[in-house]
Amino acid sequence: MLKFGLIWTLLWGLCLSGYTQDVPVIELFPVEVIPEGNLEVYSNFEKKQRESKVKVFTSIALVTGFTNPKSKTIQVEGLELYFDTEEDQEGQGFFVQPVLLQAVAGKPGEHLLRIEEEYLVSSSLGGKLFFDLSAKGLLLAPGQEVFLGIKYIRPLGAGETSYFNSKLVYGKFKTSTYLLACLDCVPQLVAGPGKKGIALKYGLAFSVKDE
């Protein structure tokens, strides 16, 4: 049984992807998302919930389910994810990508949104990163389920640590959390739905579309 405070080491086979200098890189800066007007934020956690962290290694993706809670179509504006920097990682940088996948029979499926950009994360972000997806035009129908999360690509510098610590929360969840050794690999179940579930800690910013 998994317990609070346990640091997982996810080592399911690495699927090393090629790197090209032509890939656009976006450096992330601290962003505070303030719900106002038509902008809302759905968070899958509360302050009282227990947290842990998981070591995600090179080219591994970790995703958790999300279901549109509205009775109308929503447009995804951005994704907040949380991470933890260990003492030996201070001053280091990491390249990551947000992951958004279709849900097929409750499991991760094909890309819902294929993102080519790589995002540079530094410890100066204070443990929270925000991906601005407002220009992607991603719409979710009422009740539509998707999987969202993060893929760790590689460290910024040679010789730096080859893992990224993503934050998890414990609690009652209706969705599952999966690990993907590569985005075309068979998803590996980390935790299913239930009262003692585990999920990637996230916040999803969205706007409700007038129909």
Sorting pLDDT into bands at 50, 70 and 90, what band is 16? very low
Contacts by 159-164, CB closer than 8 A, 24 or more apart: 160/89, 160/92, 160/93, 161/86, 161/88, 161/89, 161/92, 162/57, 162/58, 163/55, 163/56, 163/57, 163/58, 164/55, 164/56, 164/57, 164/83, 164/94, 164/96, 164/121
Residue-level pLDDT at 100:
96
Q: Does domain 50-208 have CATH number 2.60.120?
A: yes
Tell me the C-alpha distance between 82 and 131, whole Å.
Answer: 11
Sorting pLDDT into bands at 50, 70 and 90, what band is 79? very high
Instruction: Look over the chain and give the mean of its residue pLDDT values, rounded to a whole number.
Output: 83
Sorting pLDDT into bands at 50, 70 and 90, what band is 88? low
Residue-level pLDDT at 86:
63
Residue-level pLDDT at 90:
63
Q: Where are the domains of the chain?
A: 50-208
Residue (of 37, 42, 50) closest to 69 by Cα position: 42
Residue-level pLDDT at 161:
63
Amino acid making up residue 24: P
- Over 50: is that where the pLDDT of 82 sits? yes
Tell me the C-alpha distance between 63 and 189, whole Å.
Answer: 10
Q: Could you tell me the pTM of the whole model?
A: 0.84
- 179 with 14: CB under 8 angstroms? no
Residue-level pLDDT at 9:
34
Residue-level pLDDT at 184:
75
Residue-level pLDDT at 50:
87
